Chains A and B, each alone.
Chain A
Amino acid sequence: MSAALRLVDVTVAYDRHPAVHHVSVDIPEGACTAVVGPNGAGKSTLLKAMVGLVRQVHGRIEFPDRTRAKIAYLPQQSDVDRTFPISVLDMVLLGRWRGIGAFGTAGPADIHGAVHALEAVGLRGFERRPLSTLSAGQFQRALFARMLLQDAEIILLDEPFNAIDTRTTADLLALVRRWREDRRTVVCVLHDLDQVRAHFPHALLLARELIAAGPTEQALTAANLLRARAMAESWDEAADICHTSEAA
């Protein structure tokens, strides 16, 4: 299987302490991959590195088959100011940023697409509503609608179902399944292992270092999960400088 995304010896450190340590892995093209691991395992950091939101990444992140990757990214805690006076439709239309940009006008096709995306996430009739009137679940649905509109080839989700009710989670998982059928590449950070086994054929087990990657049953074995849990969560203040080189 070809790789949509190739991480080569990637290390990301905060205050010199690595959050992600010498990770090399291929993310399979057109498949759903779950990223699993204990707290502080570097899951969010890994996603941010893929989007290019953290600087100071050692190693390389490559997109083998693309010159310019179309990535959509849903952060764990989105920094959206939900009191901002903007309508749901305008927020969702931002998904077309790459086509419209800072100066273009949203045409009928864009607006039609946005309305369609809102329908797909179960928010029909919410177009004119101010963003501030949405509940947490509705807001998450709106963010998914924006991602639908982004029409990205690679979709990165960071714990998208945290504090979301089961009904909304089921609806949004159905969208993930649709992306899988469209042969899009989805990378999703998740905690619920049952969810992972049910919906994600591939898994990547991370505990600062890569523990296992591959088909979910083979990656998430009891032995591997135990190894991941053994990761020391605290920093070692007296840790030596890491001399592992790329050649090693």
Chain B
Amino acid sequence: MDFIWDLLIGPFVDHGFMRRALVACLALSAGSCTVGVFLILRRMSLMGDALAHALLPGAAVGFLLGGLSLPAMSAGGFIAGAATALLSGVVARYTSLREDASFAAAYLTALAVGVMIVSVKGSTVDLMHILFGSILAVDDLSLVLVAATASLTLMGMAAIYRPLVVECFNPGFLAAVGVRGSLYHYAFLALAVLNMVAAFQALGTLMALGLLLLPAVAASFWARQVVTMALVTLPMAAASGVIGLLISYHSSVPSGPAIVLVASLFYIGSLLLGTRDSVRLRFVPPAHLRA
């Protein structure tokens, strides 16, 4: 009994930083499960990754101006991410360059600028901190930020849910009934950037997308509808956070990679065992029905 307590509960009871990290992870999961599902449905998984990298120069400028201060770095990250999304969207819309190419161009530029800024003005330790995050340094202020992001995301996604669904699966219909689908697209991108900003403190800009995307990818092997996908995503994201934190605590590894790796395990498990299009169903197909 003591063993289990020390393994699973004790770390959170004994240490304030673990409690804060736990709450941050759970709030992140709540907010990001909807965003992750839509990133997949919009086939924007890799673009989301590009966006996450694009936070770096903003966070770096924030770091230059305010040191390792969360509000400064977050604001900078949000501005950089939103600007990247907007600029590459505009380039894709008004030139013949496709959106993936314009995203790639924008984020590579942003990543290079970010690394330059941090290397010139900061130390390697700072760069590592921004790239890989440190959830164990989450303070009360970051908690408020993460919680506010989660609330805003859930409310925002509820507000734009239906137009966003139609914009995903039949944008031409939306245009034909006179609705500007791009508005909802950009609102969604803004929420996605917001979630990555909230996540990068904990997971770093390189892996900010991990907790957003991996559980949603895993959920696509279990659920058939948008809502059920989001509902399956939530517990997997939360469990990834908790288990990742415990692994990080007990074996003294960085929390970001630990959390993302647990999420990857959920993904691999779902890929193998899921109820939809999984490897299991390929090798052991269930018997077919009469009609």
Contacts of B224 in A (CB 8 A): 85, 130
Known contacts A102-B162, A103-B162; is-contact A79 B171 (Cβ 8 Å): yes
A71, A85, A98: residue with the most chain B Cβ atoms closer than 10 Å: A85
C-alpha gap A75/B225 in the complex (Å): 26
A81:B225 contact, CB within 8 angstroms: no
C-alpha gap A91/B176 in the complex (Å): 15
The reply on B144 being an interface residue by CB < 8 A is no
B170:A78 contact, CB within 8 angstroms: yes
The reply on B41 being an interface residue by CB < 8 A is yes
**Count class of interface residues, chain A:** 20 to 34
The reply on A84 being an interface residue by CB < 8 A is yes
Known contacts A86-B165, A102-B162, A102-B163; is-contact A94 B176 (Cβ 8 Å): no
Q: Per-position contact with B for A67-87: 1 when CB-CB < 8 Å, else 0?
A: 000011101001111001111
A87:B225 contact, CB within 8 angstroms: yes
Q: Per-position contact with A for B135-173: 1 when CB-CB < 8 Å, else 0?
A: 000000000000000000000000110110110111111
A80:B169 contact, CB within 8 angstroms: yes
C-alpha gap A102/B174 in the complex (Å): 11
Contacts of A73 in B (CB 8 A): 176
Which residue of A81, A85, A91, A94 contacts B229 across the interface (Cβ within 8 Å)? A85
Nearest chain B residue, comparing its CB with the CB of A87: B225
C-alpha gap A87/B172 in the complex (Å): 18
Known contacts A53-B176, A78-B170, A79-B170; is-contact A84 B41 (Cβ 8 Å): yes
The reply on A25 being an interface residue by CB < 8 A is no
Nearest chain A residue, comparing its CB with the CB of B158: A103
Min CB distance A127 to B, Å, is 14
The reply on A175 being an interface residue by CB < 8 A is no
The reply on B281 being an interface residue by CB < 8 A is no
B176:A81 contact, CB within 8 angstroms: no
Contacts of B223 in A (CB 8 A): 85
Min CB distance A98 to B, Å, is 6
Which residue of B163, B166, B226 contacts A85 across the interface (Cβ within 8 Å)? B226
Question: What are 24 inter-chain pairs, A to B, with CB distance below 8 A?
Answer: A51-B176, A53-B172, A53-B176, A71-B176, A75-B172, A78-B170, A78-B172, A79-B170, A80-B169, A80-B170, A81-B168, A81-B169, A84-B41, A85-B41, A85-B224, A86-B226, A94-B166, A94-B173, A97-B166, A97-B179, A98-B177, A102-B163, A103-B162, A131-B169
4 tightest A-B CB contacts, nearest first: A84-B169, A79-B172, A81-B169, A73-B176
